[in-house]
Structure 1
Amino acid sequence: MDISRTIRGISISGVQTGDKTENIKDDLNRHLHTTLAKDFYVATERDYYMALANTIWERLSTRWLRTQQQQYLSDRKRVYYLSLEFYMGRSLSNAILNLGISDSVQEALYDLGLSLEDLEEYESDAGLGNGGLGRLAACFLDSMVNLNLAATGYGIRYDYGVFAQALRDGWQIEEPDDWLRYGNPWERQRQELATPVHFYGHVQVDHEGRRRWVDCHTLFAVPYDTPIPGYMTNTCNTLRLWACRAPRNFDFSIFNTGDYINVS
């Protein structure tokens, strides 16, 4: 059902987010209590980081949506940049700088007894690559958004895109860097756009000449969108990364026999 024909009074123009110190303080306090369901007695510094990230996200999202609407309505030519890596760096400090609200955020946090430098340390570096290829891709996205080009980056949402180094018994070892263990407040999952990806199998032709891909292994590619803001510009482009997910097929007949390993 297309409910867009019946919806009234819903518009991004009705969303107001102020950039003054008091606005930042009020929104951070609101997100701590309503989005995270934490209060002063149990909140950790990581919770305050998440509350601040959601506060900044609100301001990013309005710019992001307006950019998408403007690009769609003007039917502009678009650039799609594909890369195996996107070394974007940390999003919090970049978003605050590009939105031009550094002073307001610093003052708001000072009034609340918090430090931006301390909160920034709770953001994990996105494990999406650490070589020159990833840095180059990030620079391209930054350049295109600052030139007000309608551009989208496409890549892979790695769970373990980089590794962490540690010393054990005097030896350097590599360990998985689980950068998503606490979630990523800067992305939004687009489950409705999940796409099946088939491997192996063969093409079967029926009696009417129609072809079907059968006996294949299927995985799902699920997109996650991240806004890429420009510096002191209203343009905010998109980085879309695809995560790999197994199909959710659950066979109760197998489950009931006790074969829990092969149930899905």
Structure 2
Amino acid sequence: TQLTSLNGLTQDKAFIKQWQQVKFDNKAKLAALVAQECEVEFDLSMLFDVQVKRIHEYKRQLLNLLHVVHLYGRILDGDVKDMVPRCVLMGGKAAPGYAMAKLIIKFANNLAHMINSDPRVKPYLRMAYLPNYNVSAMEVICPGTELSEQISTAGKEASGTGNMKFMMNGALTIGTLDGANIEIREQVGPDNFFLFGLSAEQVAQANDTQENQIFSPALLKVIALLKSGHFNLVEPGIFDPIIAAIEAPKDQWRLAADFDSYCQAQLHVANTYLDKETWQQMSIRNTAASGRFSSDVTIGQYRDDIWMAKKTANNNR
């Protein structure tokens, strides 16, 4: 709970500079891990945009990838004015029999290869998929992350704790009103959280009344690039199930419905990142508000509400 005292330092120039340096040093450690494991060079001046978690359609790694394709397409079209360079890191494992999850991993790796192989793209976008994501990797990833992707379909995530870990380490969250995101946003305030997408109620209503999907021009361009085979030139048809999932008349994951809102939120992220001081202040506020999710608080609640343990001189802290 003492973390809340950090709120008093958000106007302290010297402290903000020190905070920024610590984050920069942690980004350097993460970049070294990516270079070692993925042979991809992350530029420390770029926004570090991270999504690491179990691969599942409801967690919507695919929505993240569609946005990356959107950025990639913009770069190829020469639409790079005011584009904020970013490094996108993904990681996670799929259940042995989960074919679509494994195909999403394949797509992520193919996309990363195309991005990192194109000198036109390198100044604006880089991407890596971390193999064998585990706790040891997370110890490096979490402190080096600047943007935490918590983008599951609203109403599908029971809770999740990865978003709490990122928040405590000063990452800003882009996310839906789902699971612990709701509490995180309440604690840190809406101005320090990048919200997008349908609510759980809207998702449920849409699933009940859903007819044909409506695709925005931006999403249609992304789909066209996928259909062209650009990311699977020597593997024709391999991503057809992904295209079919996006175009499905009734998509319970609401990819098309949330795509434009997600892209707009990402533009807000990019514009905010340009103001380094404001970004660091938001980072400090996220850490300051994260005590609510600490193990100390959790154990204290168990002590008082579940175990009914009496406080002693040793545990009354």
TM-score calculated relative to the size of structure 2: 0.25
- Which structure is richer in relative contact order (CA contacts within 8 A, separation 6 or more)? 2
- Higher normalized strand content (fraction of residues): 1
TM-score calculated relative to the size of structure 1: 0.29
Which protein has the larger Cα radius of gyration, Structure 1 or Structure 2? Answer: 1
- Higher normalized helix content (fraction of residues): 2
